[in-house]
Amino acid sequence: GFRSNTPSMLARGLLIGLSAALACSPSRTNVVQTSLGPIQGYVRCDGSRGSVEVFEGIPFAAPPVGENRFRAPQPPSTWTELKDTVKVKPACPQIRLFGDVMYGDEDCLYLNIYKPAHANESSSLPVFFWIFGGGYTLGDGSEFTIYDGTNLAATHDYIVVTFNYRLNILGFLALPELKQEDPDNSTGNYALQDQRQALQFVRDNIRTFGGDPERITIAGESAGGFSVMWHLVSEQSKGMFSSAIMQAGTNQVEWWFQPEDRAFNFYENTSSILDCKDPQSRLECLRKIPVEQLLIPISQWLTDALGRNNPSLPIPKTVPAYGSDLFPVMPYAPTIDNSPAGLQGTPIELVRKGQKANVPLLLGANKNSGNLLLEGLLPFMVPGTMNPPGNETLYRATYWFVGDKSRELRDLYSAEEYKSAGIMSYYQRIADSLRDCMFRCSDRRLAREWVKSKLPTYMYTFSFDLGPIDHLL
């Protein structure tokens, strides 16, 4: 009967658990010799799926401080002594909480590698290279362990790589004098060049960890998806990866691929606000400013947005005279600097000219991708919009996105179609139109070009139903 079998079942369960624990006990990894020097990580157990070797905090570039601030990533120093890589390094500077208190550290260009413990130099496992999102303003390669690659490595036999790259003004400052001093005549693309530097380290070293340098998939969401698009059309990134996944990316919107003249105007204004006004000494001034003073404080986000969007209030002196519609929340993005080391044009136009990586592509977005734009960003970005949204919000939002074609867009998302949504009808109409303008239409344009080239192309919509809170995410 059941009772008589219970002790033996319990004993077997304990024995199995003990065996798994003995087979997967925390320890240090073998020493791995990289192109920069020897490193050692640690073994992390993942239950019955076995163990994963973790290497955290591997430098892939010199610290971008001092004279290296606002420059393309420089080669890191090599070492001969064994380096412990057992701790995630700080995120790049991104949030100024109050006063001089900020989140992040300017010495931040490090990556993390997660590999199945059994992998060795002859394994040739596929590599998943993850580019985090956050509007080029927030985020890092760990995201408070959300991007920990242990589970993926253990479950799917992949090598997983995550990393940091520079954000905000530190990753995107574009000025004529920066372009002049750069050997590739590039400016405003340091964050993306950080990504490429990390990718180069992976190509040079991943075989030592058991990965195949010819089977690297680059993947990212939101700003990470925009970054994937950047690499797909970058001359210097071509050949560095074998496939790409673009989640909630885009390929045309000027907020995320900024014309050089607009970028110069914005950052010249920003430099003046930072009291670095003289073009002859502007770079020296900007490189000496304490890093926290380069970041927009959270409290200023609100006052700047209110002042810019409310005619009855004076515009704060901290608001540049010219800048992205996404200021102050997410005004930073790559600059179209016409350099092979940077960005040579609007991505979709480069693709149509044949300038692209000919690799398989998976792309798509969430069912409710427009909701975040509507709830979190629209009141900051578009004068006259409100939350909860009404007819005026619908008009202003669609005009802001597509200008004179806004009536045509509103007709496509007719009120009749959304009647069943009841009190949420305005909300859902706007959210769906924003989602399609930003993501779905963009994805279809790109997919059509990929199909024309007879490349493997896959599209998806992530539509998991979260019940009562589904519309919020």
Q: Bigger pLDDT: 141 or 398?
A: 141
Task: State how far the Cα of 470 lies from the Cα of 83, in Å rounded to an integer.
Answer: 45
51 CB-near residues (< 8 Å, 6+ apart): 23, 24, 43, 44, 45, 116, 117, 154
Query: Among 13-17, 195-199, 273-277, which is the least confidently predicted range?
Result: 13-17
| pLDDT for res 469 | 66
What is the end-to-end Cα distance of the chain in Å, rounded? 50
Structure confidence at residue 234 (pLDDT):
98
Average pLDDT taken over every residue of the chain: 89
The residue type found at 102 is M
Section 319-327 average pLDDT: 82
Q: What's the pLDDT at 8?
A: 47
Average pLDDT rounded to a whole number, residues 218-229: 97
Q: Which of 45-59, 91-105, 311-325, 359-373 has the lowest mean pLDDT?
A: 311-325
pLDDT at 417: 84
Confidence of residue 19 (pLDDT cuts 50, 70, 90): very low
Q: What per-residue confidence (pLDDT) applies to 294? A: 96
pLDDT of residue 165: 98
**Residue bearing the bigger pLDDT, 427 or 274:** 274
Q: Pick the more confident residue, 258 or 436.
A: 258
Reported confidence tier of residue 20, pLDDT bands at 50, 70, 90: very low
| Closest C-alpha among 227, 241, 451, 441 to residue 347 | 227
Instruction: Identify the pLDDT of residue 323.
Output: 79
**Using CA atoms, how far apart are residues 212 and 159, in angstroms rounded to an integer?**
9
Strands 457-462 and 95-98: unpaired
- Which pLDDT value is given to residue 48? 63
Per-residue pLDDT, averaged over 91-120, amounts to 94
Of 80-89, 257-266, 425-434, which gets the smallest average pLDDT? 425-434
Tens of pLDDT, residues 414-447 = 888 887 767 667 778 888 888 888 899 999 999 9
């509103």: which residue's tokens? 410
Looking up tokens 């008009």, which residue turns up? 395
Average pLDDT over residues 112-119: 97
pLDDT: which is higher, 408 or 29: 29
Mean pLDDT across the stretch 256-266? 96
**Residue 223, token pair as written in the block:** 């700003």
pLDDT at residue 15 tops 80? no
Task: Answer whether residue 263 shows pLDDT above 60.
Answer: yes
Checking if the pLDDT of 177 tops 70, the result is yes
- The pLDDT of residue 471 is 59
427 vs 388: CA distance, rounded Å: 8
Question: Is 126's pLDDT higher than 80?
Answer: yes
The residue-averaged pLDDT of 1-29 equals 50
How far apart are alpha carbons 175 and 187 in whole angstroms?
7
Cβ neighbours of residue 37 under 8 Å, at least 6 residues apart?
78, 79, 80, 81, 83
What pLDDT is recorded for position 21? Answer: 47
% of the chain exceeding 70 in pLDDT? 88
What pLDDT does 101 receive?
87
* Percent of the chain clearing pLDDT 90 (strictly above): 66
pLDDT at 424: 67
Is residue 124's pLDDT more than 60? Answer: yes
Structure confidence at residue 178 (pLDDT): 98
Distance CA 209, CA 305 (A): 47
CA–CA dist 331, 329 (Å, integer): 6
Whole-angstrom distance, CA of residue 304 vs CA of residue 300:
6
Cα–Cα distance measured from residue 146 to residue 126, given in angstroms and rounded to the nearest whole number: 21
- What number is the average pLDDT over the span 249-274? 95
pTM score, two decimals?
A: 0.91
Report the candidate in 249, 277, 184, 157 with the shortest Cα–Cα distance to residue 442.
249
Q: Between 47 and 13, where is the model more confident?
A: 47
Torsion of CA 405, 411, 415, 420, to 10 degrees: -110
What pLDDT is stored for residue 466 in this prediction? 75
Task: Name residues whose C-beta falls within 8 Å of residue 136's C-beta, 6 or more positions apart in sequence.
Answer: 167, 168, 171, 172, 191, 223, 226, 330, 332, 333
How far apart CA 312 and CA 310 sit, in angstroms, is: 5
